[in-house]
Each structure stands twice: as structure tokens, then as C-alpha cells.
Structure 1
Amino acid sequence: MKEISFETYKARERTIEKLEDELELAEEALENKYGIDD
């Protein structure tokens, strides 16, 4: 695995966290729409 700078790592980490937040919201919206409860 090639080395990446700390700044690149942090930027990727923030991007991933943002995507995870969006996924969570989408999941909740679907659960509400279809009455699914996990």
C-alpha cells in the first residue's frame, strides 16, 4: 500500500464520515417509509 499524507488521510476520513451520515439518513428514511424497525 502506498503511503499517503496525513492531510489526505484526514480528508478521506471526513469524506467517509459524511457518506456514512448520508447512508444512515437514507436508511432511516426507508425504514420510516416501509415501517421497518431494526
Structure 2
Amino acid sequence: MKDVNSFQVCAKLYTAVYYVCLFVSFNSLDDDFWKWPKN
């Protein structure tokens, strides 16, 4: 049970980090997209 718990925690942590990275990269891409036509 301990191994399963640690695996679930690692999976949730990995998923959270993945979504944060995806959100940050999407936001920076969006900013570049909106800034590009003005420059």
C-alpha cells in the first residue's frame, strides 16, 4: 500500500507540474502572439 500511495503522489505531482508548464508555455506563446503584430 505504501508503494501505491507514493506512486499516486508522484503521479499527481508530475501531472501538476506538467499542467503548470503547459499553462506557462501557453501564456508566453499567447503574449508573443499578441505582441508580434504591434512591433
- TM-score band w.r.t. shorter chain: 0.7 to 0.9
Which residue in the other structure is 1:17 paired with?
Answer: 16
Alignment of 1:28 with 2:27, yes or no, is yes
- Larger helix fraction of residues: 2
Percent of aligned pairs with the same amino acid: 6
Give structure 2 stretches of 5+ with no counterpart: 35-39
**Which one has a bigger Cα radius of gyration?**
2
Q: TM-score, normalised by structure 1?
A: 0.75
Q: Secondary structure at the match of 1:5?
A: helix
RMSD: 1.3
What TM-score do you get using the length of structure 2 for normalisation? 0.74
Aligned-pair CA distance for 1:6: 1.0
CA distance in 1, matches of 2:8, 2:30: 33
Question: Aligned letter for 1:22?
Answer: C
